[in-house]
A and B are shown apart, each in its own frame.
Chain A
Amino acid sequence: MSILKEEFPVAAMDFVTAGEASAQIKRMLKKLGVDPGVIRRLAIACYEAEINLVIHSDGGKLMLELNPDNVTLISEDVGPGIPDIDLAMSEGYSTASDDVRMMGFGAGMGLANMARNADHFNIESIVGEGTKIEMVFDIK
């Protein structure tokens, strides 16, 4: 039985509200007394995922589930998908536009940074359909 289960919609190319879901998730976990180290890792990965949804998808959602032993964060989108996941995971590789770079993003660090901060990381993508990323953060 999970302690908390919430969904947060994320709109494509909306840089005004980008990051609001992550900020809300961080606040919720803080209020529930989750370990600050876990919150820190999750907040970074969550923000990376949210920015990716804004930049690369046609819209998607973040799904948060807090359990006694872990926090699961799923990012799911409808969009172009990722043709070569290994290439997308390599640091520095990015398909972001110059407009996105002007906003301070698109350095090609996102997916690798998500994997680095999560205890368990899984990514599945279908070209022309979308991408699903599942991250689990263990609560020690």
Chain B
Amino acid sequence: MKLKQIMQLLSARPLTDVVDEELEISCACASDMMSDVLAFPKEHMILLTGLVNHQVMRTCDMLDIRAVCFTRGKLPTAEALEMANEDGISVIATDLTMFIASGKLYAGGMNNGTIG
């Protein structure tokens, strides 16, 4: 599934200067605990989270996660967004809760998930 489709399914808006809508995403991880994200990494993964600090981007950098979606209308801190822009991570945001956003992705065909 491309990031563009994810943005449509979640009615998500872009937050970083560049959002690679053609990015191929094959699974999702929904968690506020970066410890859990680090324990269950997969390739071509999008991270759904409500944690807004810059350690989210640091975790993505370590795991080569190229896309992050903030849920429930939460927005990353300025430091987090700056780090995402520097590292070329595509960041989007949705007003949906993490549960509903996960459900929409699953129903939309992304059932190769990893749950923290």
**By the criterion of a CB under 8 Å from any partner CB, how many residues of chain B are at the interface?**
18
**Residues A44 and B55 in contact, CB atoms below 8 Å apart:** no
Q: Is A60 at the interface (CB under 8 A from chain B)?
A: no
- Report Cα–Cα, A19/B63, bound state, in Å: 12
> For the complex, would chain B's binding face be called helix, strand, loop or mixed by DSSP majority?
helix
Which chain B residues border A109 with CB–CB below 8 Å?
35-36, 38-39
Number of A-B contacts (CB under 8 A): 62
Which chain A residues border B34 with CB–CB below 8 Å?
104-105
Q: Is B95 at the interface (CB under 8 A from chain A)?
A: no
* Residues in A85-138 with C-beta less than 8 Å from chain B: 91, 101, 103-110, 112-113
Complex interface bits, B48-71 against A, C-beta within 8 A gives 1, otherwise 0:
000101011011011110000000
Q: Is A57 at the interface (CB under 8 A from chain B)?
A: no
- Report Cα–Cα, A112/B100, bound state, in Å: 31
Give me the interface of A with B, judged by CB distance under 8 Å: 15, 18-19, 22-23, 26, 40, 43-44, 46-48, 91, 101, 103-110, 112-113
Give me the interface of B with A, judged by CB distance under 8 Å: 32-36, 38-39, 41, 51, 53, 55-56, 58-59, 61-64
